Amino acid sequence: MQLWVKIKNHFFNAFRELFVYNHGSLEFRAKILALMISANEEFNADDCEIINKIGENIYKDDPKRVNLLFLSTKELVKKVNDDNGLDIDTLIANIQKELRFVPRYAKKIDIEPLREIVSLSKNEDIIAYQNSILEFLETLKEETLNTKQSQIKKDEENLVSKY
């Protein structure tokens, strides 16, 4: 049974864009979570628990989507930690770029749940770094919501989402 789950997860990771409704939104949220976790340079059971908790709050009745958020976040953190062509600066640049193209994603940046990730850190330098990232995300969110209001409103009129 364990092998089947691994194969299924690998399959969904490979073809996520085709099979997952509103994939971009989920991927954006995974990037935000991965950014915070990667700043700590560790991925442990507590991080997994927080990701699942955040996912359950967002996707209340959709455990498959919660699992996909977890898997996407874990994959991104692994890429950053393995120095696999992705680093924190690139992740930040990707988040900024996505907000330029899809400004409504700024509404998906929820700072309070991310503070739980900071609370897991023990090193004062890492805590300061994560708090700086939170401040950056909060500023980015506010700037995007303020400067792109008309585009967000227009996009939301044309969008039907269950999340």
- 79 found inside a domain: yes
In a domain, 35, yes or no: yes
pLDDT digits (tens, 9 = 90+) for 64-111: 889 889 989 998 998 888 877 788 999 999 999 999 999 999 999 999
**Is residue 162 in some structural domain?**
no
Is residue 141 domain-resident?
yes
Query: What pLDDT does residue 44 have?
Result: 82
* Residue 124 placed within a domain: yes
The answer to whether residue 114 sits within a structural domain is: yes
Does residue 163 belong to any structural domain of this protein?
no
Tell me the mean pLDDT in the region 13-39.
75
pLDDT class of 15 with cuts at 50, 70, 90: low
CB 46 within 8 Å of CB 89: no
Range of the domain at 39: 2-16+23-157
* Predicted local distance difference test score (pLDDT) of residue 18: 43
Total structural domains within the chain: 1
